Each structure stands twice: as C-alpha cells, then as structure tokens.
C-alpha cells in the first residue's frame, strides 16, 4: 500500500537542460511538503504531448502548472492555451543566448484572456514559482497557510538578524548599522 498523495502541482520544462535550474523549484515545493509531477515537455519538439498533458492535468488532480523554458519559450503559453488551471511561467536563460530576455518576453507577453503569471528569470524565478504555487494551494489548505506564514517570518528574521561587518559600514557613507 502506498501513502503517496496525488501531486497538486505539475512542473514541466522544455528540455532536460532546464532541470538544473528547476531543481530549486522542486526543492522549494518539497520544503513545503508539496510533491510535484515533473515532466520534460517541449512546446516545439513535442507539441502533441504538451497539449495532451495540459488538457488532462485538471482531471488528474493538478491545481497549478509551473512551466519553465528558455529561448522562444512557448511552453507556459501552450499550457495556458490548453488548460483552465493557473499557469506560472519561469523564463530561463539558455546558453548561448541573450540572458533570458528572449524567454521572459515570450512567457510574459500573453494575449488578453490567456494569462501566464510570469516570475523572474532563472533560479530566483524557479524558487518564486514554487512559493506562488504554494500560495495558491494555501487558500484552501490551512496547514499550508501556516507553513507560508512561518516561511515569511523566518525570512524577515534573517534580514533583521544580519549584522553588517564594521568594515562595510565604514565604506558606505550614510549607512547606519542599526
Ligand atoms: C527550450 O530551448 C528549452 O526550454 C531550453 O531552455 C532551450 C534549449 O533546449 P536544448 O537545446 O538544451 O534541449 O525549448
């Protein structure tokens, strides 16, 4: 007998070359106790699979789709086109490339009526996609809501607890250590 729950979040990415960047997303979800269905699906190389995945996601229990891709990144848009689930897009910087600006514009510039909630380029965006997905799930999950509150409080505590080294203070005029 297995106690595994059906994943509520899908994390899809355009290539196995994106996995290194998206590990921080998967890891962040895991820290909240949220398991993800992780798939490599390309909007361009496997368009049929992308359509079928997005169309069946809701009936499989998925609540949020996180889609990451680089270059002319159309994966998040394709997910949003084929599903009514909220889609979070993570633009990635492919190598060689233009630093992810290509993917950012491809992901964020969706036409009216087909939104993709687009986060920052690369690793910070990958992590934020996980937090945003958890925030969506937490609306109907009090335990997850409490974990989010703790996560925020811990972040604030880390900022408050940071002590500037004396040297840094003396080098930055106008910056007070208190
Ligand atoms: C995109 O093209 C992928 O998401 C990846 O970021 C980029 C390059 O893919 P590979 O050539 O490394 O498979 O579709």
The mean pLDDT values, 10 residues at a time, for the chain of 178 residues are 76 98 98 98 98 98 98 98 98 94 98 98 98 98 98 96 79 58
Q: What is the pLDDT of residue 3?
A: 46
Ligand 1 centroid–CA 120 distance in Å is 18
70 lines ligand 1 (CB under 6 A): yes
pTM, entire model: 0.91
Which residue's CA is the closest to the ligand 1 atom numbered 12?
17
Rg value, the chain, Cα: 19
Q: Reply yes or no on domain 9-146 having CATH 3.90.1170.50.
A: no
Structure-block tokens of residue 107: 């992901």
12 lines ligand 1 (CB under 6 A): no
Contact between 162 and 175 under an 8 Å Cβ cutoff? The reply is no
17 lines ligand 1 (CB under 6 A): yes
135 lines ligand 1 (CB under 6 A): no
């Amino acid at each position: 007998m297995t106690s595994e729950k059906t994943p509520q979040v899908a994390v899809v990415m355009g290539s196995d070359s994106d996995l290194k960047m998206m590990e921080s997303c998967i890891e962040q979800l895991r820290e909240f106790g949220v398991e993800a269905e992780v798939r490599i699906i390309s909007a361009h190389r496997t368009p049929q699979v992308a359509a079928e995945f997005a169309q069946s996601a809701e009936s499989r229990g998925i609540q949020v789709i996180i889609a990451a891709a680089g270059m002319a990144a159309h994966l998040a848009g394709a997910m949003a086109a084929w599903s009514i689930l909220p889609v979070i897009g993570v633009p990635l910087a492919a190598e060689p490339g233009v630093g992810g600006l290509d993917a950012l514009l491809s992901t964020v510039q969706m036409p009216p009526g087909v939104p993709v909630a687009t986060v920052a380029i690369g690793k910070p965006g990958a992590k934020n996609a996980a937090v945003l997905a958890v925030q969506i799930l937490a609306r109907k999950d009090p335990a997850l809501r409490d974990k989010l509150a703790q996560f925020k409080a811990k972040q604030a505590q880390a900022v408050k607890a940071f002590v500037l080294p004396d040297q840094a203070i003396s080098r930055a005029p106008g910056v007070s250590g208190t």
